[in-house]
A and B are shown apart, each in its own frame.
Chain A
């Protein structure tokens, strides 16, 4: 395998080499973006079907019901319900958030923001996308099987995921799809780690990198270390399902030795806990940058933010046991995991305080990327705080597997990442496509997302606290939960509203793509490297590799004499 040396490659000319098997990181980023948005829509539709069933059990789903579930008269059948929440989780985590945040922004921002012409290994990058594509195809095929798709939850715990729990091929294909996606992710990780270390522009130290790059880089490192753990887990699960081994099957231990279903939970969460940080770190990075850019102030404690994110990444590898407090873990272990989990609040509080310090007394511009970033600050704050209840053993034993958990991880992993992703899309759209997005529609989209979103997830926290368990087809067969019906229908109404407002985004995206106003080189007036070149950038990004002379957040310096309130990273630092 030969590395890229930051030389100018000739521009591809045919349609095939330009758009399909392109080695250009900018094209691959857009491929990942389209891929992610497609699956985001699919996963979102599934979420609406789940919500409809929870609020109106036994009532036919309007419009979609007669198309999809004609046999049951438009009602979501119980087994399909299990498939829906399983595939909703899988699709959103692996096929929507990962491609958009890591695939699209990672590919787009890393070379541009560090002043490189492409990734270190462009061909590996191309393969990474096509492995993800293949994985997506396998997943979609699994949806069309006669016995249906995987239905054991996105965590796929045995015995739900063994042949006893799910006899169809759906679960096997799920495992294959996840394995292929892992291959894709690790290929990307090799590329990101190497690129950030070797291809930074001359003069750019690690702390001169935008925090977006810090987030993406830490994500890539965690990916490289922990995705193979899940790979090993699903590999053994595939062997169990296809070859008849008994790794995760409990049996008669004295005669033939027993497999261990709980082992899969350990393996899953050794991967799974870093995974939730894999998903959120890019969003943290993006938000840390955008808050500074749109407050026209240097990022408060940028170095501390970067180091705090690093600390969270390291700690995230040591806390997985808090997902398994109810598996008869010894109290010594649960308390160790609880203490380690609580330790994460310290670095989290550091960068959260830095975010507030950044906007403090800034001259804030409420452009759409900033609105979404502020949304992340609010939503992530709520999500992080509810995490404390779940990291503490005493409260977790009560709240385990309730909708409180669902609300918590949706606030952190779904709402924060989604809003962070939208912030990124609105922010880099001009650079990516050379057109501006419509600001009015963006603002409608923001409020149309933000308000119902809190209705949904705060509602979930409330019904969870009220005792409603997750993954139940019809919770209201339990009399004690019937008092939660009104909140549940409020959640569903919010979900439908939020879904409807995403149409505004799609229209804005497509309309701007076609006839948005032409974007200038630097529409947001910020100083990072990608804004020094035309929008969209030429094939090789930089005619000359830039030389970096200052950090990424040099804004609002009163001593600047150049008529701007910011300076580019390529300019000599003006002392404040």
Chain B
């Protein structure tokens, strides 16, 4: 690893630590709310149907697989195929956002509102918003990677690896959110 690669990799590591701490704080909050609640979900609120969150989870897993393919192809020097895989990642990432949008819309129709459903609604909307906000940055990073792949400069592998790390990070956060907030 030369110095430039080390720098980029370190910077991404520090960035991921920062992201982890942000979401760790949210999960800490969730643990406090959940453990201090008399019953969960609170009285009068139905558990959310798992269908849409499960779909989101599958979509983000598939997108992560394509992301990994991008890196594998860049490593083997096949930038054309990496670009295809990148397109697929981008497409599935956008699909994830569309499902999220539909999920928020759907939540309202099941009677869970942001302001009147207490802490349950706050967590469902607030946490998924903050995650989705980071996904937007992930998508921007993927678009940046698209340009980098098209240019195919000397830095291309480093950029791919970094974007891959960030994208997997978003996937892992979603997975934890899926398990803790929706399944449990």
Complex-state Cα separation, A233 to B29, whole angstroms: 9
Q: Which residues of B contact A (CB under 8 A)?
A: 3-8, 10-11, 14-15, 17-19, 21-26, 28-29, 32-33, 36-45, 114-122, 125-126, 129-130, 155, 162
Q: Which residues of A contact B117 (CB under 8 A)?
A: 256
Residue with the highest number of chain A CB atoms closer than 10 Å, among B7, B29, B117: B7
27 pairs, A vs B, C-beta closer than 8 Å: A3-B8, A3-B11, A5-B4, A120-B11, A186-B18, A189-B18, A193-B14, A197-B6, A198-B6, A228-B21, A229-B22, A231-B22, A232-B29, A232-B130, A235-B130, A236-B29, A244-B114, A245-B121, A245-B125, A247-B122, A253-B37, A255-B42, A255-B43, A256-B116, A259-B118, A260-B36, A267-B25
> Are B44 and A255 within 8 A (Cβ)?
yes
Q: Given A3-B3, A198-B6, A239-B126: A254 and B25 within 8 A (CB)?
A: no
What residues on A are CB-neighbors of B40 within 8 Å? 257
Q: Known interface pairs A245-B114, A245-B125, A247-B29. Does A258 touch B119 (Cβ–Cβ under 8 Å)?
A: yes
A267 / chain B contacts, CB cutoff of 8 Å: 25, 28-29
**CB–CB B120/A193 < 8 A:** no
Q: Which of A95-103, A219-227, A289-297, A533-541 contacts B (4 or more CB under 8 A)?
A: A219-227
**B42 touching A254, Cβ below 8 Å:** yes
- Give the chain A neighbours of B42 by CB distance below 8 A: 253-257
Contact of A257 (CB < 8 Å), options: B6, B115, B118: B118
Q: A225-B17, A229-B22 are in contact. Are A198 and B7 (CB under 8 A)?
A: yes
Task: Tell me the chain A residues, 166-215 only, with Cβ under 8 Å from chain B.
Answer: 186, 189-191, 193-194, 197-199
CB distance from B5 to the nearest CB of A (A): 8
B18 and A256 contact, CB distance less than 8 A: no
Q: Using Cβ atoms and an 8 Å threshold, which residues of chain B touch A235?
A: 130
Q: Is the beta-carbon distance between A260 and B26 smaller than 8 angstroms? A: no
Among B4, B41, B120, max chain A CB count under 10 A is at: B4
Contacts of B25 in A (CB 8 A): 228-229, 232-233, 267, 270
Q: Which A residues lie within 8 Å of B23 (CB)?
A: 232
Neighbour of B33 across the interface among A121, A260, A270, CB < 8 A: A260
Q: Tell whether, in the assembled complex, residue B119 and residue A263 are in contact, meaning their CB atoms are under 8 Å apart.
A: no
User: Mask for A60-77, Cβ within 8 A of B = 1, else 0?
Assistant: 000000000000000000
Contacts of B118 in A (CB 8 A): 246, 251, 255-259
Q: Give A194 Cβ to nearest chain B Cβ, in Å.
A: 5
Nearest chain-A residue to B15 (Cβ)?
A190
Closest to A252 in B: B118
Whether A256 lies near B45 (C-beta < 8 A) is yes
CB-CB under 8 A from A258, the residues of chain B are 33, 36-37, 118-119
Contact B121 A1 (CB under 8 A): no
Q: How many A-B residue pairs have CB under 8 A?
A: 147
Please give me the 6 A-B residue pairs with the lowest Cβ-Cβ distance, nearest first: A256-B118, A3-B7, A245-B122, A257-B42, A232-B25, A244-B115
Q: Contact: B120 with A254, CB < 8 Å?
A: no
Partner of B10, one of A193, A226, A227, A254: A193
A residues in contact (CB < 8 Å) with B: 1-6, 120-121, 186, 189-191, 193-194, 197-199, 224-229, 231-233, 235-236, 239, 243-247, 251, 253-260, 263, 266-267, 270
Q: How far is the CA of A233 from the CA of B25 in the complex (A)?
A: 8
A225, B4: Cα distance in complex, Å: 23
| Nearest-neighbor residue (CB-CB) of B34 within chain A | A257
The secondary structure that dominates the B interface is helix
Q: What is the CA–CA distance of A297 and B43 in the complex, to the nearest angstrom?
A: 70
A255 CA to B29 CA in the complex, in Å? 19
User: Out of B6, B7, B19, B29, which one reaches A263, CB within 8 Å?
Assistant: B29
Does B21 lie within 8 Å of A194, measured CB to CB?
A: no
Contact between chains at A232 and B36 (CB < 8 Å): no
Contact A229–B4 (Cβ < 8 Å): no
CA distance A257 to B116 in the complex (A): 11
CA gap between A239 and B119 in the complex, in Å: 12
Q: In angstroms, how far is the closest chain A Cβ from the Cβ of B27? A: 10
State how many angstroms separate the Cβ of B40 from the closest Cβ of chain A: 7
B114 touches A224 (CB 8 A): no
CA distance A245 to B3 in the complex (A): 46
Nearest-CB residue, chain B, relative to A264: B29
Q: Check A120 against B7 for contact (C-beta < 8 Å).
A: yes
> Which of chain B's residues has its CB closest to A192's CB?
B14
Chain B residues, Cβ within 8 Å of A120: 7, 11
Cβ contacts under 8 Å, B21 to chain A: 225-226, 228-229, 232
B24 — which chain A residues lie within 8 A by C-beta? 229
Closest to B20 in A: A228
In the assembled complex, which residues on chain A have CB atoms less than 8 Å from the CB atom of B17? 224-225
Chain B residues, Cβ within 8 Å of A255: 42-44, 118
B10 proximity list for chain A (CB < 8 A): 193-194, 197-198
Assess whether B14 is in contact with A190, with CB atoms less than 8 Å apart.
yes
B125 contacts across to A, CB distance below 8 A: 243, 245
Does A253 contact B38, Cβ atoms closer than 8 Å? yes
Query: A3 vs B115: C-alpha distance in the bound complex, in angstroms?
Result: 45
Q: Is B11 within 8 A of A228, CB to CB? A: no
Closest to B121 in A: A245
Residue of A nearest to B8 (CB): A3
Q: Is the CB of B32 within 8 A of A257?
A: no
* Chain A: CB-nearest residue to B153: A2
Give the shortest distance, in Å, between B180 (CB) and chain A (any CB).
Answer: 15
B33 and A228 contacting across the interface, CB-CB below 8 Å: no
Known pairs A228-B18, A244-B114; A2 contacts B122 (CB<8 A) = no
